[in-house]
Amino acid sequence: MSYLTTQAIVLHTADYRENDRMLSLLSPAHGQLDALCRGCKKPQSALMSAAQPFAYGEYVLFQSRGRLTVTSFQLIDSFYPVREDYDRLRYAACMLEILHVQAVAGEGQEKLFLLLARSLKRLCYLPLTPRAVTAAFLLMDAALSGWRPQLDRCVRTGAPLTEDEPVFWDSDGGGLCCRASVSPSRPATPITPGEARWLRDVMKNGIEKTACPPEDAPFQPLLRYLESRLDIRVRSV
């Protein structure tokens, strides 16, 4: 029997008995942790805020017989603004849904944890479209997970891509391709030159230093790309 103290973000909750919940937590040092939060559904519970999706804080977990139980919690950020706007909520839920499938238990997930925390902050507190913030999240998630897309050369021919030429997104190939490589037998999703430049900027400078994205960031192509790599279908969006 021992105690574990860690910062974490709640990825998923499931009701358990009358007043309890099972939590899936993303910890930077320990990966995904499943913990029981007893009594958190009671109106006066001190752990009520610990058992909400998106809750970010410091958890003290008691470990006994292979089970973790939340004993105390100190809130850092509830990311409450995502609950005030439907668009923010569904895009934020998309991030949680992907990491709930992707994050591994027992392995350090510091980079994915920081990516999620920073993306939720951008979603809540910066004047950026939820679609663009989530597109940047998907792109960086793919890169951190070993699926970094090719953005400077055609994934089909290897030819260099210029900044102003029309390009297409090839999920199977893992990146952008040129117009000459697209045909009815080998289709791809159109991407505007502005969107392609924005993707390169996100990849080069990181999610915190990226310039304002285009009005309609290429969210769907990136989502389909990550879904194909994880073999899932995201329901949130």
Look-up: residue for tokens 């507190």?
A: 125
Domain ranges of the chain: 2-77, 81-230
Number of Cβ within 10 Å of residue 67's Cβ equals 11
Strand order in the sheet with 167-170: 175-178, 167-170, 189-191
Short-list 84, 173, 68, 153, CA closest to 124: 84
Architecture of domain 2-77: Beta Barrel (2.40)
- The CATH homologous superfamily to which domain 81-230 belongs is Recombination protein O, C-terminal domain (1.20.1440.120)
Q: At what angle do helices 86-102 and 219-230 cross, to 10 degrees?
A: 20
**What Å distances lie between residue 23 and 38, 47, 86, 209, 211, CA to CA?**
10, 12, 23, 32, 35
Task: Give me the residues of the chain with pLDDT under 70, please.
Answer: 1, 207-208, 211-215
pLDDT tens for 19-29 read 999 999 999 99
Q: Is residue 9 classed as helix, strand or coil in its secondary structure?
A: strand
pLDDT tens for 104-116 read 988 889 999 999 9
In this prediction, residue 73 carries a pLDDT of 97
What's the CA gap between 99 and 115, in Å, rounded?
A: 11
pTM above 0.85, yes or no: yes
Short-list 14, 20, 28, 90, CA closest to 57: 28
Residue type, 153: R
What's the CA gap between 172 and 186, in Å, rounded?
A: 11
In this prediction, residue 106 carries a pLDDT of 85
